[in-house]
Structure 1
Amino acid sequence: MTAAERTLVFWVPDWPIQAFLRDQDDADKVSDPAIALIAQHRVAACSPAARAEGVRTGLREREAQSRCPRLAVHPHDPEVDRRRFAPIATALERLVPGIEVRRPGLCAMRARGPARYYGSEEQAADALLALAADLDLPDARVGIADGLFAAEQAVRATADSALVTSPSEGVRIVASGSSAAFLSPLPVSRAASESFTTLLVGLGIRTLGALAALPEEAVQQRFGAEGVAVHRRARAAHPTNSDKTQPRTPGREFSVEIEFEPPIDTAEQLGFACAAIAERFVAGFTAERLVCTALRVELTDDIGARHEREWLHPRHFTAADTVGRIRWQAAAIARASERTGAGVTRVRVTPTHTDRAAAHEPGLWSNEPDARVHHHLSRVQSRLGHTGVGTIELAGGRLLAERQRFVPWSTTRAQRPGSRASAAGPWPGALTGPTPSQVFPEPLSAELLDGSGHPVRVNAEDLLDSAPHRLQIRQYAINAPVLHWSTPWVIRERWWQSTAPRFRLQVQLAGDDAWLLFQEGEHWFAEGHYD
């Protein structure tokens, strides 16, 4: 079996964390270094400071917070990982053609071409790390070995690992022909799926060296194609098709940008100056038979402060729409009291979501009424500002007031299912039945009394200590007897911060008037009213 070709891997450790930090607005920068990104209530990625406290990928969210009480948790958005890594991959492609993006933060390429161009594998690795430093990626690493799998293991190895040379900081090289020996002591879990690892360990095969010692024909007869693929990884032999480096076809760059000298300090001037790049931005999609439905505008001040915002369009962006979003964003910066500097020196517009143009063509009976609605609302919004016109969408939360969110017209993308702000939940303690027809922005103070005129409370068993008899809400002039009531249910939030639980209760008054209440501390509040 021939040896695998020399492969170079470029890796940015903890890329999801870095992408998350890069995606934060200047006003929302995360100060706590202990960060974890959560998906499906488990840790999808964590920062080095969080790992130092015992947080690991795959832990349940509550377990991670118990290990690190100061842990800052945020939802993991894979789209942010991909979007933030796209310009880095493009920059790498300009330096070394023929890269494969294995996943955001990890790229692979054949080492022969870069080594011949730069003089050696070490010099090619240094060139990539120099580019990484220019891209503000000081922790980037480069690994070189025989085959893709061995290179991925080399890039994660320490400088003092056996058979690994480190000619410079961040570079790990396994000499040609030594990859099989380098991989030999590693556990089989590095190369096999969880189920296959369990099977191999049950047979006494715990390391890649033990697996590589078996004849390939015997492995194929016993374990099939999956076994052969893992066996070849362990031997650093010529890989199967799924393990080969597959350079991507460079995609078209749709982002546009423009720089100004001197800076522009008014929104109207900035919109006029960006008209040409907006036309070029939209023309690029037209040429590829695409449309842009969401974009990100980045404005950079003369003092280096960057202001970013993502804008959504109910249909797709035209050049005029793009200019309008740039103008609105610039106007918002000008109104910010903390803004300093002489004006905007750089504008960059990047698409964050595209779609086929055919999917946005008018239907059989046309869709002009929708277009007219959007046209008129956009005109009103251009006069009142981007927050002057909007809609209400359902957000995540337990209390009803938390579940309402104002969304400016054509600005913000709805939360994806599974995120921490998603209405899909789960939200333990949330109301699951019919919702009140009237929800109060601020809960109304209420008194729930028993037959003796004493306040009704919830006891240690999460039950009412007495039967409700009368409900009083002064702001609504309500003082009526209670006919029926539900069993109270608890809302427990942030128990690790010793936050007191809240208890919800539905009551029906005389005359079929119904209210949704909750108790916080020793007081009752009216959250909503059923008509």
Structure 2
Amino acid sequence: MRFRPAGFLAEPDAADDGDRLLVLWAPDWPVIAHARAERLSESAPIALVERGEVLACSRSARDEGVRRGLRQREAQSRCPGLTVLRYDSSLDARAYEPIITGLEQLLPAVHPIRPGMLAVAARGPARFYGGEKAAALALLGALRELGVADGRAGIAEGLFAATLAARATRPGQPTLIVPEGRSADFLAPLPVRLLESPELSVLLPRLGVHDLGSFAALRPHDVAARFGAEGARLHVLARGRDARAATPRTPPHDATAVIDFEPALDRVDQVAFAVRTAADEIVTTLLEQKLVCTALRVVFEGEEGEQSDRLWLHPRFFQATEIVDRVRWQLSGALRSGERRHDPDAAGELRSAVVRVRIEPETVDAAGSHERGLFGSGPEEGVHSGLSRVQGLVGHRGVLTATPTGGRSPGERQTPVAWGDRAVVTRDRTRPWPGRLPDPAPATVYEMPRELRVQDATGREVSVSARGVISAPPAALVAPGGERLDVSSWAGPWPLDERWWDARTARRAHRFQMVDGTGGAWLLVLDERGWWAEGRYD
């Protein structure tokens, strides 16, 4: 038995280094997943682009000088034959799900880190296969059978060291096993940027600390005092004392329901009635395993072989009646082929009657995480029930909620999302948006800007010169119908120059904030077409 000195300030001993973990890594997995989806060769020069920058690239693209973080045009100039694909994180995760499921048939507990990388406790596989080296090779062989030809494995104490061990492998050496108790020595020569902290990655080298060993040599009290709680946490990782355990995920249980129709059905009410029993069985099966479904996939197959596939999300979890509602809504939209051509959320068009329906719980969660309170969930439950009923009457896109996103104008800073769906935010609002108005935002944002005129004291329309100089102080707001409001105060102009490199979508405008005589505040925009009201500060 090992004893440690009393007091919480005592230095942790080797027993606190964490369990030995085995990390399996598929290099360039995002590129592989997207290449397979687009039916491209995995050896071709491919780059995944997000917000105009290279997020990941294939080995052949790196050989041509393409690197992560390059602008798209620079990457294409370095590699003229580069295939550029837009990065889709959901595709990345979906493609990796069968690999996790396949490994779960061999391992009792799998801890997904991110698509392309997972961890397991090394002790069990090492005992079963006769050593850590044999276990790593055996699991790499299982990865090859699941479609990952170039798999890597790393073993060390703690998740941080094991992850870096896997990433330190090479094509001819797919495994790296750090000797027991030597994780700190393995981490010592590695650069501090591997801590993945943008602030410390810049600050530590300025202080003369370039590697993890130098950072680990600092006194814990000094690190906590200088860099705070986050710095103290990263200091523990640099010392090889990562105590995080591999937490197995709750594997999705097979509660998929497949209903075949003979003869085929072409009426929504018939299909909805036929899936009621299957919906009850799905919910009951999951509840028996103390699980609930939070994401549901519904697939329709027509007589001519076409499919309608959609993933439905829920803010809480699906009940049987809600599963039936989703089936009815999706089929109603899929059969309205004329309307679906204009539906941005179209999940597939059916040209013939339905011969098969597959209902599959895509994401499940522990039922205990969704238990109601002692007195229910109160107003939240009533709101969800009421909006779901309205949604059943007016259609899935009939009830929308606004989700804040990034952008310059108030209209761009919100994304309408159907009730019950989770927003897919493509514009990060935490990023800098040059030209964005500071808070507070207008309480009312017009979907279509309203036309009006802004006049000076002589009745002439106010204009702004090319140098941004206003012709005269605004004196009145005049609506198209002739209604007139005096301007009591105003601020601006603030120039707005968007997409200047594209003549078709370029926009040059000036924004103003004005307060009328009644106390109402307005956000106005002056462009080449005239004056517009974009919003109102209520």
The bucket for the TM-score relative to the shorter chain is: 0.5 to 0.7
1:490 — aligned with what? Answer: 495
Contact kept in structure 1, 2:295 and 2:363, CA below 8 Å: yes
Contact kept in structure 2, 1:471 and 1:481, CA below 8 Å: yes
Shift of 1:202: 7.8
1:334 aligns with 2:348: no
**Distance across 2 between alignment mates of 1:151 and 1:444:** 55
2:397 — aligned with what? Answer: 387
| 1:489 maps to amino acid | W
1:445 — aligned with what? Answer: 451
Shift of 1:129: 1.4
Contact kept in structure 2, 1:295 and 1:311, CA below 8 Å: yes
Aligned residues: 473
SS at match of 1:92: helix
**Distance across 1 between alignment mates of 2:337 and 2:111:** 42
* Change in CA separation of 1:16 and 1:252 when aligned onto 2, cut-off 3 Å: same
1:459 — aligned with what? Answer: 465
1:258 — aligned with what? Answer: 257
Contact kept in structure 2, 1:257 and 1:277, CA below 8 Å: no
**Distance across 2 between alignment mates of 1:225 and 1:435:** 40
Matches within 5 A, 1:421-436: 428-430=435-437, 432-433=439-440, 435=442
Shift of 1:503: 1.5
Contact kept in structure 1, 2:486 and 2:517, CA below 8 Å: yes
Cα deviation digits, residues 213-262 of structure 1 (max 9, x gap):
xxx99999x9999999767x7xxxxxx6738xx55456353462123456
1:519 aligns with 2:526: yes
* Change in CA separation of 1:192 and 1:467 when aligned onto 2, cut-off 3 Å: closer
* Change in CA separation of 1:254 and 1:491 when aligned onto 2, cut-off 3 Å: farther
| 1:125 maps to amino acid | L
Shift of 1:328: 1.6
**Distance across 2 between alignment mates of 1:227 and 1:444:** 56
Match 1:468 to one of 474, 493, 504: 474
Cα deviation digits, residues 174-205 of structure 1 (max 9, x gap):
5998xx9x979974548778769987998898
**Distance across 1 between alignment mates of 2:319 and 2:202:** 53
**Distance across 2 between alignment mates of 1:188 and 1:47:** 22
* Change in CA separation of 1:404 and 1:121 when aligned onto 2, cut-off 3 Å: closer
SS at match of 1:516: strand
1:321 — aligned with what? Answer: 322
Shift of 1:318: 1.6
SS at match of 1:459: coil
* Change in CA separation of 1:507 and 1:13 when aligned onto 2, cut-off 3 Å: same
1:12 aligns with 2:12: no
1:309 aligns with 2:311: yes
**Distance across 2 between alignment mates of 1:146 and 1:515:** 61
* Change in CA separation of 1:494 and 1:283 when aligned onto 2, cut-off 3 Å: farther
1:141 — aligned with what? Answer: 151
Contact kept in structure 1, 2:25 and 2:151, CA below 8 Å: yes
1:27 — aligned with what? Answer: none
Match 2:143 to one of 113, 128, 151: 128
1:347 aligns with 2:359: yes
**Distance across 2 between alignment mates of 1:492 and 1:17:** 35
SS at match of 1:464: coil
Shift of 1:513: 6.7
Contact kept in structure 2, 1:300 and 1:345, CA below 8 Å: yes
Contact kept in structure 2, 1:188 and 1:197, CA below 8 Å: no
Contact kept in structure 1, 2:193 and 2:201, CA below 8 Å: no
Shift of 1:525: 1.9
**Distance across 2 between alignment mates of 1:511 and 1:185:** 68
Cα deviation digits, residues 113-151 of structure 1 (max 9, x gap):
6756999865652332111x2xxxx56523366778478
**Distance across 1 between alignment mates of 2:494 and 2:175:** 60
**Distance across 1 between alignment mates of 2:257 and 2:141:** 31
Shift of 1:321: 1.3
SS at match of 1:283: helix
1:503 — aligned with what? Answer: 510
Contact kept in structure 2, 1:275 and 1:323, CA below 8 Å: yes
**Distance across 1 between alignment mates of 2:135 and 2:519:** 84
Shift of 1:517: 1.9
* Change in CA separation of 1:265 and 1:130 when aligned onto 2, cut-off 3 Å: farther
Gaps of at least 5 residues in structure 1 are 25-31, 165-171, 234-239
Matches within 5 A, 1:95-174: 95-109=106-120, 110=122, 112=126, 115=129, 122=137, 124-131=139-146, 133=147, 138=148, 141-143=151-153, 149=161, 152-154=164-166, 157-159=169-171, 164=173, 172-173=174-175
Contact kept in structure 1, 2:111 and 2:118, CA below 8 Å: yes
| 1:159 maps to amino acid | P
Normalized against structure 2, the TM-score is what?
A: 0.64
Cα deviation digits, residues 1-56 of structure 1 (max 9, x gap):
9xx999754223355677899999xxxxxxx9654457xxx989445499777553
Contact kept in structure 2, 1:448 and 1:468, CA below 8 Å: yes
| 2:117 maps to amino acid | L
* Change in CA separation of 1:312 and 1:248 when aligned onto 2, cut-off 3 Å: closer
1:356 aligns with 2:368: yes
Shift of 1:507: 3.6
Normalized against structure 1, the TM-score is what?
A: 0.65
1:278 — aligned with what? Answer: 279
**Distance across 2 between alignment mates of 1:98 and 1:353:** 16
Shift of 1:94: 0.6
**Distance across 1 between alignment mates of 2:324 and 2:499:** 43
* Change in CA separation of 1:424 and 1:192 when aligned onto 2, cut-off 3 Å: closer
**Distance across 2 between alignment mates of 1:378 and 1:326:** 14
